[in-house]
Amino acid sequence: MLFNSYEFIFLFLPCAALGYFVCARYFSLESALGFLVLASLFFYGYWNPRYLLLIFFSIGFNFAVGRLLSGAGRHSKRALLIFGVAVNLGLLGYYKYANFFVDNLNNILGSNWNLGHIFLPLAISFFTFQQISYLVDARQGKTSEYNFLHYCLFVCFFPQLIAGPIVHHREIIPQFMRTENLSPKWSNIAIGVSIFAIGLFKKTVIADSLSAYVTPVYDADLAAINLDFFLAWGSTLAYTFQLYFDFSGYSDMAIGCARIFGIVLPVNFFSPYKSTSIIEFWRRWHITLSRFLRDYLYIALGGNQKGNVRRYVNLFLTMLLGGLWHGAGWTFVVWGGLHGSYLMVNHAWAKLLQLTGRDPGGLYSYRLFCWFLTFVAVVFSWAYFRAPTLDHANQVALAMLGMSGFELPAGLLARLGAAGEWLATIGVTSGFGGGAMLVTNYIWVFCATVFALFLPNVAQLFNDYDAVLYENDRAFRQVRASGGVSWGYNTRWAAAVSVAFVLGLMTLSQVSEFLYFQF
């Protein structure tokens, strides 16, 4: 069941909310939580009921290990944690990477081993990471759970089950225990529905529309199309914003759904394309995943405590594994390696500025250049993230570097007049057809750029109503203000949200899965 579907919007979500609050009012808190767990499991099993077998095992196993960790001695805790994490990663590795490993082994050895088709359980990457974080927190004494029902809710609460945000136990379960969340509040419903409508608009109107300019390059046989600089950049820029508005839209819808129940989820996106460095980008993009990689991988490898060389190695390895988490393919490994390299260069540059005592950050031209460099680096890396094979990604990347020529449709060059003649003199050739598609491609990219760079995000719009949780409030304090644009209980915002919701509903005929479902 998709957030962007009629059955979810008009049937499942209202029934889940109604059932939860009725149980809380006429029975008990535990019955309400039990109803929500059952509703969440129905939501998860809607695609394929056999998915439920794995999540049942995962919940039961991790709950048991967490209980043991809470009462074990220091040495026993270490062994239990290693065992628990190994089982979680073993399951993830089997379902997600077994075929990838065997295929590469066959290529090296010339063998023909075959494991058959291994279906990838929905959301396994997300609920595995979430439960690993719980086990680590349990070992460190940061959290403990002795109620199986509460633990089930922590893992499978439907708004954040499929694609995050990745939450900590201490962030979400205490909210369900608050008595004020046991009855519906019109303020929570208004805020939740408004955020959901904005997320729906992002997904169905913007992201799904941009997909039309991505598939002709990334899902086609490149030998059949004339891929050049402008087409490669147009398609990759379209994917850049498609991915952002698709996943950001999903996160907004998850935040909105949870808020209807009075639950506030962590912020997962904070206008990442406004970043002026790769370091800042990863503090704004998929924030809960970045937090997990930092806390449970980068720091576990030694972080920055063992010298600069080791720090750079740890950064690179963290991003390499972060890339592999997204998918079993060499394209994701290269994407992670690119971002690892970007971070190494970024940290080295920051260190150099510190040693020389220079701080050009006050110069607007310097900040603009840093933003442009960061954005171009991120866009270039998305070619590897999106392409189905490494060869396909390399061809797109080479075209983006100008290695496949520069071509514009003849009709478009003619309409450019003197500018078109000048472009012809510097090597831009003319082609036949595709002019309307190319123009609309870049118009959509321009509109998406305006949305992403110049409009406030959901966290900023609803800042006065505590729309999201911030792990480090100070990190976003300077940019939480929305420039005078703030959501409120008034007819103007009611009308704006209604328009966004209606436009989102009008495009449900092109229902498509969220891009991060495949990870």
- Closest by Cα among 251, 246, 213 to 232: 213
Cα–Cα distance between 138 and 131 in angstroms, integer? 10
Could you give the count of Cα atoms lying within 13 Å of 288 in the half-sphere of its Cβ? 23
- The DSSP line for 24-86 is HHHT-HHHHHHHHHHHHHHHHHTT-TTHHHHHHHHHHHHHHHHHHHHH--HHHHHHHHHHHHH
Dihedral sign from CA coordinates of 213, 217, 219, 220: positive
Please report where in the chains the tokens 């409009």 appear, as a residue: 455
Cα 344–Cα 348–Cα 351 angle in degrees, nearest 5: 145
Element (H, E) at 310: helix 308-326
**Buried-exposed string 19-31: b where 16+ CB fall within 10 A, e elsewhere:** bbbebbeeeeeeb
Cα–Cα distance between 436 and 434 in angstroms, integer? 6
In contact, 280 and 273? CB cutoff 8 Å = no
- The DSSP line for 402-425 is TTT--EEEHHHHHHTTHHHHHHHH
Residue type, 470: Y
Element (H, E) at 462: none
Catalytic residue among 150, 168, 286, 326: 326
Cα–Cα distance between 237 and 449 in angstroms, integer? 9
326 is catalytic: yes
In contact, 145 and 63? CB cutoff 8 Å = yes
Cα–Cα distance between 320 and 318 in angstroms, integer? 5
Q: Across the strands, what pairs with 409?
A: 431
Contacts of 382 (CB under 8 A, 6+ apart): 236, 239, 240, 243, 335
- Closest by Cα among 166, 197, 114 to 516: 166
Residues identified as active-site: 326
